[in-house]
């Protein structure tokens, strides 16, 4: 006697893997002496993103250094912002 077929459950479809992009935490802000910030986190993040791309560009668009570019860009932008606020 042939076996009864059991209903198959479909395999879950693999979700598309997205490129992991380092992002600044939402709570980061560069404060002035009175506790207010002249730049929103979104402004600072876009500035960091732009600088990281410039660093990537200067490396000849070579892959594999995105995290280092982002960290260096973050340091530069935040240092520049803190100098503006202390002056």
Number of separate domains in the chain: 1
Judge whether 73 lies within some domain.
Answer: yes
Measured at the CA of 76, the angle between CA 51 and CA 18, to 5 degrees, comes to: 45
Judge whether 74 lies within some domain.
Answer: yes
Q: Which residues contact 81 (CB under 8 A, 6 or more apart)?
A: 30, 39, 44
Judge whether 34 lies within some domain.
Answer: no
Range of the domain at 47: 41-86
Judge whether 36 lies within some domain.
Answer: no
Q: What is the pLDDT of residue 5?
A: 72
Q: What is the pLDDT of residue 35?
A: 42
Model-wide pTM > 0.75: no
List the pLDDT tens digit at each of the 87 positions of the chain: 667 776 777 666 665 555 555 555 544 444 433 344 567 888 999 999 999 999 999 999 999 999 999 999 999 999 998 888 786
Q: What is the pLDDT of residue 40?
A: 85
Q: What is the pLDDT of residue 86?
A: 82
Judge whether 12 lies within some domain.
Answer: no
Judge whether 61 lies within some domain.
Answer: yes
Judge whether 69 lies within some domain.
Answer: yes
Judge whether 82 lies within some domain.
Answer: yes
């Amino acid at each position: 006697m042939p076996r009864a077929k059991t209903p198959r459950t479909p395999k879950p479809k693999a979700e598309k893997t997205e490129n992991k992009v380092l992002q600044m935490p939402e709570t980061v802000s560069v404060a002035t002496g009175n506790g207010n910030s002249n730049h929103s986190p979104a402004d600072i993040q876009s500035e960091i993103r732009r600088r990281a791309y410039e660093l990537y560009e200067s490396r000849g668009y070579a892959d594999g250094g995105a995290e280092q570019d982002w960290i260096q860009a973050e340091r530069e932008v935040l240092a520049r912002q803190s100098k503006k606020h202390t002056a």
